[in-house]
Amino acid sequence: MKGKTSGQKMLLTAGFMAMATLLSKVLGLVRDSLLTAYFGSGLESDAFLTASTIPTTLFDVIIGGVISAAFIPVFNDIMSKKGKDEAMKFVNKFVTLIVCITLFIVVGGIIFRDVLVNIQAPNYTADKHNLAAQLTAIMFPMVIFTGLAFSFVGLLQSFGEYNIPSIISLVSNLAIILYYVVFGKKFGIYGLSVTMVIAWSLQFIILIPWIKKFGVKYRPDFKFKDPYIKQMLLLAGPMLISTWVQPLYSIVNQRFASNIDSAVTYIQQSNRLYIIVVGVFSFVVTNLIFPKLARAVADGNDNEAKKLTVSSMRAIVLVIAPLMAGFIVLSKPIASVIYGYGKMGAEDVEAISTLLKFYSVGMLGLGLNEILSKAFFSLQDSRTPMRNSVISMVINILLAYVLYNVMATNGLALAAAGGSIVNAVLNWFCMHRKYPDMIKGRDILNMIKAVISAAVMGVGVFFVYGFVGARFDGVVGNILTCGICGVTGVIIYGIMIFVTGEDDIKSIIKKKG
């Protein structure tokens, strides 16, 4: 039997990652649905969602997105030029540095928990503020496990192991769902907070055997005056600022929403669903492509790096465009299927679905931005996405202030979508200016074909939904509505892609033929 080609292995890996990520995101939706089903959309859920986002937001703002993004290019550079032994010395220093930083975050976060809650939700009542502060202190230790997990994920991906990192979120989501199934509300919102910390620790623990498999023997090393650590920090500074977009969007939106009861829950749940949908596909593409981009750059293979970037962009547009159209049209039945249970009433679902519709406007921008940012990072150019992120953050905040006064919380969702679009456009423009021969006219034409096909699909689904939606109600009815409209959308999109002659689909058909 012939061995699998590198292309076949990559396809199998991508398929496994897609399935694992999809299952993990589905379980994430189940987890979020159980929260509102058990605790509703009032005091407890608002406090819990604020408390759970404070540690993760602080982690993201201080080191989050740069752990793997800054580590992978430097590690691959050392492996290519100095060999594995030198690379392992760098790993020991890097992980030790991450442990020190995350310990500092945890201690500082617990001490200043009241201040952090005030920053995130300044308009909470005393009861809601006190509960959020208590839950924040309980959940802060998960920052340490998150930092370690991110570090080891970057290391495994550099060694070409993608499958195991893709299941860690699945494990943590299963742990939280198991808590609901076994204990329900027995230990209340405090028990759920403790479970969150346990779930995040599992993400790190399951990676340990695989780290050992690749010969990694961690030894604490505090010699941070290292040229490679310095190289990583210089790369990480601007890169860190460029990853602040989503965390700061979240802070801005929660500050506005904290003035309205239940609004934090509505915004958090709709935004999570929006991020999950984009994340299933952009996560697979960026995590599969980024280490390959870093290796191509380290080896001086610029043409390969350009091809990987463009093919990733085309894949994202081909997949995200129809999803964006579908979510804009079907936001209400989708929100009903996921959140319409337990203590969640029709008004709660309606609020979430409207927010989801406005968030969805930014899906394509968010997906493209993931690819373009990682492409700049792999080229060790973190300043360009940093500048673009700062500009888009300013625009998002200005839009939030303006649109909130006109559309209330719906304006916050639309402002976030606008910020994502601006960020992607700026990154696209800068990438094209830096590498004018990279994105060719044919590539742009194929992306336009996908967007037009998705728009036609959206119109078709809109009319089908108008006919079907009026004839079904309840949970089963909403599932049927989503199913019928979804199948219709796939058929319309498939026909349009075939008729317009999109190149990627044409090449697949030719290979099968």
- Alpha-carbon torsion angle 291, 295, 298, 302, nearest 10: -100
What pLDDT is recorded for position 311? 80
CA nearest 228: which of 391, 97, 384, 46? 97
Cα–Cα distance, 176 to 199 (Å, whole number): 7
Sign, CA torsion 81/87/93/97:
positive
Cα–Cα distance, 136 to 108 (Å, whole number): 12
Cα–Cα distance, 55 to 478 (Å, whole number): 35
Cα–Cα distance, 316 to 336 (Å, whole number): 27
Domain boundaries, the chain: 20-439, 440-513
pLDDT by residue for the chain (513 residues), tens only, comes to 444 545 455 556 666 766 777 787 788 888 888 888 888 777 888 899 899 888 988 887 777 656 666 777 788 788 878 888 888 888 888 889 889 989 999 999 999 999 999 988 888 889 999 999 999 999 999 999 988 888 888 788 777 777 777 788 888 899 999 998 888 778 889 999 999 999 999 988 988 888 888 877 888 888 888 888 887 777 776 666 666 666 777 777 778 887 777 788 888 888 888 877 776 666 666 666 666 666 676 676 767 777 777 888 888 888 899 999 999 999 999 988 888 877 788 888 899 999 999 999 999 998 888 888 877 877 767 778 888 888 888 898 899 889 988 988 899 999 989 988 999 999 988 888 887 877 788 888 889 999 999 999 999 999 999 988 777 777 788 889 999 999 999 999 999 988 887 665 555 445 444
Residues in the chain: 513
- Alpha-carbon torsion angle 139, 140, 144, 149, nearest 10: 50
Residue with tokens 């990438």: 431
Q: Give the CA distances from residue 306 to residues 33, 160, 310, 379, in Å, rounded to whole numbers and listed in that order.
A: 41, 20, 6, 10
What pLDDT is recorded for position 509? 46
Whole-model pTM? 0.72
Cα–Cα distance, 244 to 62 (Å, whole number): 9
> DSSP class of residue 64?
I
Contact 68, 305 (CB under 8 A): no
What pLDDT is recorded for position 84? 81
Which residues neighbour 280 within 8 Å (Cβ) at sequence distance 6 or greater?
18, 21, 22, 25
What pLDDT is recorded for position 10? 56
Q: Give the CA distances from residue 376 to residues 246, 280, 306, 314, 390, in Å, rounded to whole numbers and listed in that order.
A: 18, 21, 11, 17, 16
Gyration radius (Cα) of the chain, Å: 23
> DSSP class of residue 341?
S
